[in-house]
């Protein structure tokens, strides 16, 4: 593992490039979601058998734990790796946005609010900010996979399997909380891997 530079330098890079990732996401994701909602037609890119997968509201905690992953990079990566990760996320967001516009897809699962709290409130908030479009690829999977791969590359032997299990649970949660389908997950993972390979050759 490469020795880490002072935390202040890592946090400065993380903050600067994190803002650029945020600009890319909030410029592209809500816009493409809104445009898809206005088109009145979307592809059904899922198998009918997938609609039998159970809805497990408790997995919302794993789904939301992706945001915990966002806090980890400055504690494992030096500024060059932080910049590369940010570029992966930005490029992945741009590619995903183009796909959302070219092949708008719809969610096949009906959106049902759990009866029990706090799950009802959590899903109400989720449904309020996220329309059932922008399915393929899942940016939730793109971001989780890209961050996990970057962190695992610098993590120790003990932490690597923990991060691997964590990202697998997050990916599974996107389907079990009925936010995505299997193709969305597969496409998101492939896109994250491609972005990493492409930028690895340029660095």
Domain ranges of the chain: 7-201
Q: What are phi and psi of 131, to 5 degrees?
A: -70, 155
pLDDT of residue 137: 97
Specify the 3-state DSSP secondary structure of 105.
strand
pLDDT of residue 2: 74
Q: Which residues neighbour 200 within 8 Å (Cβ) at sequence distance 6 or greater?
A: 84
pLDDT of residue 130: 86
For residue 68, the Cα-to-chain-centroid distance in whole angstroms is 12
pTM for the full model?
A: 0.94
pLDDT of residue 203: 58
In the block, residue with structure tokens 């990493």: 196
Whole-number Cα distances in Å, 69 to 36, 41, 101, 113, 128:
29, 34, 28, 26, 23
> From CA 16, how far away is CA 161, in angstroms rounded?
29
Nearest partner of 119 among 61, 163, 54, judged by Cα? 61
Peptide linkage before 137 cis (omega within 30 of 0): yes
pLDDT of residue 200: 84
pLDDT of residue 1: 64
- Please count the residues of the chain: 203
Nearest partner of 186 among 50, 1, 77, judged by Cα? 50
Contact yes or no for 145/188 (Cβ under 8 A)? yes
Query: From the CB of residue 19, how many other CB atoms can be counted at a distance below 10 Å?
Result: 11
What is the distance in angstroms between the CA of the first residue and the CA of the last residue of the chain?
A: 17
Parts of the chain with a pLDDT under 70: 1, 201-203
């Amino acid at each position: 593992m490469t020795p880490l530079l002072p935390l202040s330098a890592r946090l400065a890079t993380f903050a600067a490039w994190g803002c650029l990732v945020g600009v890319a996401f909030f410029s592209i994701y809500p816009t493409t979601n809104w445009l898809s909602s206005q088109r009145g037609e979307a592809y059904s890119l899922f198998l009918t058998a997938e609609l039998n997968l159970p809805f497990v509201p408790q997995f919302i905690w794993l789904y939301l734990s992706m945001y915990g992953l966002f806090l980890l990079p400055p504690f494992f990566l030096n500024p060059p790796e932080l910049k590369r990760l940010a570029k992966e996320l930005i490029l992945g967001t741009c590619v995903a946005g183009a796909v959302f516009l070219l092949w708008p897809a719809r969610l096949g699962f009906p959106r049902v609010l759990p009866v029990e709290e706090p799950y009802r409130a959590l899903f109400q908030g989720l449904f309020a900010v996220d329309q059932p479009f922008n399915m393929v690829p899942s940016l939730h999977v793109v971001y989780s996979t890209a961050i996990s791969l970057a962190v695992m590359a610098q993590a120790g032997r003990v932490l690597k399997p923990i991060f691997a299990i964590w990202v697998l649970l997050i990916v599974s949660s996107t389907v079990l909380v009925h936010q995505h389908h299997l193709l969305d997950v597969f496409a998101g993972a492939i896109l994250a891997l491609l972005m990493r390979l492409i930028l690895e050759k340029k660095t």
